[in-house]
Structure 1
Amino acid sequence: MTVSWTPHRFTGGLLALDTANTVVLRGDPRRSFDRFDDPAEIARFADAASRFRAAELGGRPLAAPSPATIAPVVLSIREATDRLFRGAVSKGSITTSDLPGFLKACSDGLDGSRTEIGAPGKPFGDPVTPIAFETALAVSALSLLCDDTAARLRICPNCTWLFVDRSRNSSRLWCDMAVCGNRQKARRHYRRRRMAENEAKNA
């Protein structure tokens, strides 16, 4: 099934987190599914991410001309990132036993890359030429190890997506207030209404 890569799919705050969130409802075997089951979606995701993550990428477009070929590396980085940082949010610290796998996955994504990164105004290199999606994904994932970023990671209580809380007082609760926040409000309203109806019946 073709995925509609809407702005909501990019509420993680960083490319690596948006990619980690392409597995929907992690932890729920009955309902969980992978949006990258069809490798063609990796290319479509990369195209959308070029727009929605333009600020992070310094305007450099992502390239994924052979999604089936890069799928193993992309999925390896995705799963290692989710495992390491979901655990960090849950425990309040990074588990060192998860680091070798994470670093190896990122290394595989960078293997063969000849781009220069980190220059002022060019965080992902020259914005004129495309960058391989797996390379950009590895760079984005490694940036999560920065203390300030890691301390601001959260797990949405509605959809369980990972996201960066960049609110001033670090109090953001939902990955997307317009979607997950409103769904939770609707559920609470429904429960209160049912309780009121039941109380009225039993009065």
Structure 2
Amino acid sequence: MAVSWTPHRFSGGALALDVTNTVVLRGDAARSFDRFEDVAEIARFAEAATVQRAAELGSRRLVVADPRAAGPKVLALREATDRLFRRGVLHGGVETDDLATLLFACADGLVGHGRIEKGRPMPGEPGAPIAFEAALSVSALSLLPPARAERIRICANCRWLFLDESRNRSRIWCDMTVCGNRQKAQRHYRRRKVLEDADA
């Protein structure tokens, strides 16, 4: 079944984090699933990301020439990015082995995709389409500087990774309108249940 790549699915704040979040309920073996299990979804995600991440991409179109060929690189980048930054949030630092894995995956994603010119965020000719794995590599590398890495959080509801760009770094949900509202509704339900049980 095709995924609806709605704006909520781009709550990560960076292309690389949006891609990590294509594994839903990561860490919950019984309920977790992979939205890229069907490799055709990689190309469909890239189409939606072209719009949702236009600023990060310099308004260039993402392309996936062959999802089966790009798939292994995209998945390697996704897993390396998630492991490095999720463990970084949980443990307050990054493992050098995880960093090496990410750097190798980024190198593989960038090979053969031209130059990154000063003042342009992505490799290749201005205005030309950009290969998804190359853009994904650049996005992941852009998260490494400490000032940016320190803003990565894990959503208190869905466990997605996201960039907290708030002034006081106080966000706890990837998307207030979805995860924030779900958490508020659950708290309200629990409070009401406690009061009903007390009255019974």
Q: Is the 8 A contact 1:59 1:127 kept in 2?
A: no
Instruction: Give the match for residue 46 of structure 2.
Output: 46
- Counterpart of 2:122 (choices 108, 124, 127) is 124
Distance 1:147 1:98 in 2: 16
Is 1:171–2:159 an aligned residue pair?
A: no
CA positional deviation for 1:37: 0.3
Segments of structure 1 that go 5 or more residues without pairing to the other structure are none
Is 1:157–2:139 an aligned residue pair?
A: no
Aligned-residue CA RMSD (Å)? 0.9
1:1-203 map, 5 Å: 1-114=1-114, 116-120=115-119, 122-125=120-123, 126-201=125-200
Q: Is the 8 A contact 1:22 1:34 kept in 2?
A: yes
Structure-2 change in CA distance of 1:151 and 1:75 (3 Å) = same
CA positional deviation for 1:91: 0.7
- Deviation beyond 4 Å, 4+ runs, structure 1: none
CA positional deviation for 1:118: 5.0
SS of match in other structure, 2:109: helix
TM-score, normalization: structure 2? 0.97
- Percent identity over the alignment? 62
TM-score, normalization: structure 1? 0.96
Equivalent residue letter for 1:113: H
